[in-house]
Amino acid sequence: MSRPFNEQTDPGTLGVGVVLREERTITEADITEFARLAGDQGRHHLPGSGRQMAHGLLTASLATKIGGQLNFIARRMEWEFLRPVWAGDTITALVTVRGSTETRSGTRLDLGIEIRNQDGETVLLGESTGVVRH
């Protein structure tokens, strides 16, 4: 079952197999601002050098948006960058709950992450573990 994030989502209802989804179009302004904030001024990220390529971590941040909405505190993140994302691409993050365990301090989540472009191509694979505190 895939669903967009809902502000009413309770981490306790995030059973194994639930997929949360978020979408965004990456703009030239997004890439330029991320380059400024991160200090990564590689030519391929800057305007005026042809098509602007998004930073890998800018792409990954779409999945972390879902984590932030859940108040998820990541303990570990791992990313595999498979294809470039360009200015104008629309990407969709699919965050799948692989494991959910109640602990004394909160709900421990094991998440699988896939980000696809507008053509349905996987551009990034990842995973993360962490906790949503009670």
- Distance from CA of residue 13 to its chain's centroid? 20
Per-residue model confidence (pLDDT) at position 131: 96
Per-residue model confidence (pLDDT) at position 1: 47
Quick one: tokens of 28?
């030239």
Check: CB of residue 86 under 8 Å from CB of residue 54.
yes
pLDDT in tens, the chain (134 residues): 455 555 445 655 788 999 999 999 999 999 999 999 999 988 888 888 789 999 999 999 999 999 999 999 999 999 999 999 999 999 999 999 999 999 998 999 999 999 999 999 999 999 999 999 88
Per-residue model confidence (pLDDT) at position 2: 53
Per-residue model confidence (pLDDT) at position 4: 53
Return the number of other C-beta atoms located less than 10 Å from residue 131's C-beta.
Answer: 18
Cα 43 to Cα 47, 49, 66, 110: the distances in Å are: 8, 6, 30, 36
Which H or E element spans position 79?
Answer: strand 72-81
Which H or E element spans position 15?
Answer: none
Position 111, amino acid: L
Quick one: tokens of 80?
């595999």
Check: CB of residue 41 under 8 Å from CB of residue 52.
no
In 3-state terms, what secondary structure has residue 89?
coil
Per-residue model confidence (pLDDT) at position 47: 84
